[in-house]
Amino acid sequence: MKNFVTVRNLVKHYGDVCAVDTLSFTVMEGEIFGLIGPNGAGKSTTINILSTLDAYTSGSVEIAGMNIESHAREVKAILGIVPQEIAVYPHLSALENVKFFASLYGLKGAALRKAAEEALAFVGLSEKAKMKPKQMSGGMKRRLNIACGIAHNPKLIIMDEPTVGVDAQSRDHILHSIQVLRERGATVIYTSHYMNEVEQICDRIAIIDHGQLVAEGTCEELVAMITDFNTFTMKTRFPADFDKDAFMKEVSAFPSVHSVSVQEDCVKIETSITCADFSDILDKLRKFHLPVISVVSEIPNLDSVFLTLTGHEIQ
């Protein structure tokens, strides 16, 4: 995969406030990239700079091989922006809103109408094409905001907290549509302070705090930064002739197994975080006639990664 967005030593001061502090990260072509951090971390400032909406103090940003300052016009042409604050015209209908935003990218006539109708269908608002934003629920307005940002079929879609204040159904719809946009070939940068959403849809993630990069990688890579082990607890029933010593010996022989313990109604196995032979471990349970009634994995989530790396909770 090749780099699509390269941010190098980006700095943004607002007077005395350093909103973005020597931030560097890379987004690969065709991925969903999550930019996560608590309120005030500098996500929107970073996104606004990438979107060419905001100036920066120093550093550089390249999008599709183009410097965003020297090639601002070409960069803008391939961007789709979904801002954190809903930016639609209250007195225009949903369809008119989408047409207006898509027209800014040069679409006209029948092509414009088709693109706008497709974008509305994409966010599930075809039936509401004539409705005005002031009559819409928060979730519907968020979906319209997305349609306005994607109708011109941008190569890079930048979404700033698109699920804040939406109902569960709109939220699921939005998360699903982001994945569809990626499948259609777009690269997506997605900011959020909801870790579970980011775990669900992002290929790679940058954690930022106080304008600085805390860590960057896949969810698994970030988890591996704070722990070496994954604990699996498998509930089972031990047969009368269970040979505990032989079982422990065979399971311990796997290179990725760190420890095994047999308890009253369960087997607890600690493996390396990168364990790739879990199914072989399960085969051993089968061999010793241990039914697997349930498996609980205590792999840490992004919330614990954030807490461990920054020393505070995300929200």
- The partner residues of 297 in beta bridges, in order of sequence, read 232
CB of 98 to ligand ADP, least distance (A): 25
CB of 150 to Mg ion, least distance (A): 20
Residues 6+ apart with CB under 8 A from 239: 289, 290
CB of 16 to ligand ADP, least distance (A): 9
For residue 192, state whether it binds Mg ion (rule: CB under 5 A).
Answer: no
Site string for Mg ion, 79-118 (x = CB under 5 A): -----x----------------------------------
CB of 159 to Mg ion, least distance (A): 11
Q: Which two tokens stand for residue 259?
A: 């420890």
Query: What CA–CA distance (Å, rounded) separates 164 from 166?
Result: 6
For residue 14, state whether it binds ligand ADP (rule: CB under 6 A).
Answer: yes
- Choice between 263 and 315, CB closer to ligand ADP: 315
Binding segment (CB under 6 A) for ligand ADP, from list 13-21, 68-76, 133-141, 224-232 = 13-21
Residues 15-74 that bind ligand ADP (CB under 6 A): 17, 19, 37, 39-45
Query: What CA–CA distance (Å, rounded) separates 306 from 313?
Result: 7
Q: Which does 14 bind (CB under 5 to 8 A by kind): Mg ion, ligand ADP, none?
A: ligand ADP
- Choice between 116 and 198, CB closer to ligand ADP: 198
Q: Which does 42 bind (CB under 5 to 8 A by kind): ligand ADP, Mg ion, none?
A: ligand ADP
Q: Which residue's beta carbon is nearest to the bound Mg ion?
A: 44
- Choice between 188 and 234, CB closer to Mg ion: 188
Residues 162-181 that bind ligand ADP (CB under 6 A): none
Q: Which two tokens stand for residue 82?
A: 């979904």
- Choice between 42 and 154, CB closer to ligand ADP: 42
The Cβ of residue 173 has, within 10 Å, a number of other Cβ atoms equal to 21
Binding footprint of ligand ADP, residue count (CB under 6 A)? 11
Binding footprint of Mg ion, residue count (CB under 5 A)? 3
- Choice between 46 and 236, CB closer to Mg ion: 46
Query: What CA–CA distance (Å, rounded) separates 265 from 174?
Result: 42
Query: What CA–CA distance (Å, rounded) separates 233 from 218?
Result: 25
- Candidate residues 32, 44, 46, 75; the one interacting with Mg ion per rule CB under 5 A: 44
**Maximum distance among all Cα pairs of the chain, rounded to whole angstroms:** 78
CB of 210 to ligand ADP, least distance (A): 9
Residues that bind ligand ADP (CB under 6 A): 14, 17, 19, 37, 39-45
Residues that bind Mg ion (CB under 5 A): 43-44, 84
